């Protein structure tokens, strides 16, 4: 696959290089999404330099579950694969959970009540851009108001990421995970 917009080429402007050095693991080249957005240092700073990956109101598992579900729902194998590669094991997401994130739902037996609420939140936001009162009540039982705000912002941010990765036709990163194949039914 060829990207629709060519990435910026090194040397990058100093303000871009500082962010790349901070967010890209040592030994890896900058990700195609980052170098494409780096064509405009102002957008790059706003998009990458001020993201949701730092300390907030969510655990690593909560954040990564939302990111994985949103990017899977949007068909962004690019972003899903990067996050699974770097964070799935640290977040305690195994094969059954990763399969369910792509092909299942919050009622699958691999999920706790809290995890199921997160998947249901992602599904509601994806399908209706809204949260009904029943789901809101379930969210309030598990999360603070600040955490709920962060959950919705993470979901919206990664939907925007999916728009970019899909519309730009970014080629998958070589190291990144791939969507699990759908189990065949007899």
Q: Where are the domains of the chain?
A: 14-47, 60-167
**Model confidence pLDDT, tens digit, residues 5-54:** 999 999 999 999 999 998 899 999 999 999 999 999 999 988 886 666 66
The pLDDT value recorded for residue 50 is 67
Cα-based angle 52, 53, 56 (whole degrees, multiple of 5): 70
Say if pTM beats, i.e. exceeds, 0.85.
yes
Q: In three state form, how does the secondary structure of 143-169 look?
A: CCHHHHHHHHHHHHHHHHHHHHHHHCC
Residue 185 has pLDDT above 70, yes or no: no
Q: Which two tokens stand for residue 100?
A: 């369910």
Mean pLDDT of the chain: 93
Task: Provide mean pLDDT across the span 83-110.
Answer: 97
User: The tokens of 82 are what?
Assistant: 């990067």
Cα 42 to Cα 44: distance, rounded to the nearest angstrom: 5
Residue 186 has what pLDDT?
45
DSSP classification of residue 129? S
Residue of 147, 148, 150, 156 lying closest to 129 (CA atoms): 156
In CATH terms, the superfamily for domain 60-167 is: AhpD-like (1.20.1290.10)
pLDDT attached to residue 48: 83
| Residue 93 confidence (pLDDT) | 98
For residues 157-177, average pLDDT: 96
Neighbours of 67 (CB within 10 A): 27
**What is the per-residue pLDDT for 184?**
63
Q: Do residues 118 and 66 make contact, with C-beta atoms less than 8 angstroms apart?
A: yes
Q: Is the pLDDT of residue 55 over 80?
A: no
Q: Distance between the two ends of the chain, CA-based, in angstroms?
A: 33
Per-residue pLDDT, averaged over 123-147, amounts to 97
How many CB atoms lie under 10 A from the CB of residue 182? 9
């Amino acid at each position: 696959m060829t990207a629709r917009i060519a990435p910026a080429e090194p040397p990058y402007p100093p303000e871009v290089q500082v962010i790349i050095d901070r967010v890209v693991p040592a030994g890896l080249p900058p990700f195609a999404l980052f170098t494409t957005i780096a064509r405009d240092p102002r957008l790059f700073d706003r998009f990458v330099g001020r993201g949701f990956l730092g300390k907030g109101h969510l655990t690593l598992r909560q954040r990564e579950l939302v990111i994985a579900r949103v990017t899977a729902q949007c068909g962004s194998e690019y972003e899903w694969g990067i996050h699974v590669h770097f964070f799935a094991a640290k977040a305690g997401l195994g094969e059954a959970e990763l399969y369910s994130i792509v092909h299942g739902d919050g009622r699958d037996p691999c999920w706790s009540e809290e995890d199921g609420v997160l998947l249901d939140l992602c599904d509601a936001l994806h399908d209706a851009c809204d949260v009904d009162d029943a789901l809101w009540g379930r969210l309030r039982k598990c999360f603070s108001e600040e955490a709920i705000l962060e959950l919705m912002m993470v979901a919206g941010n990664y939907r925007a990421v999916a728009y970019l990765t899909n519309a730009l036709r970014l080629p998958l990163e070589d190291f990144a995970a791939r969507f699990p194949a759908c189990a065949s039914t007899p």
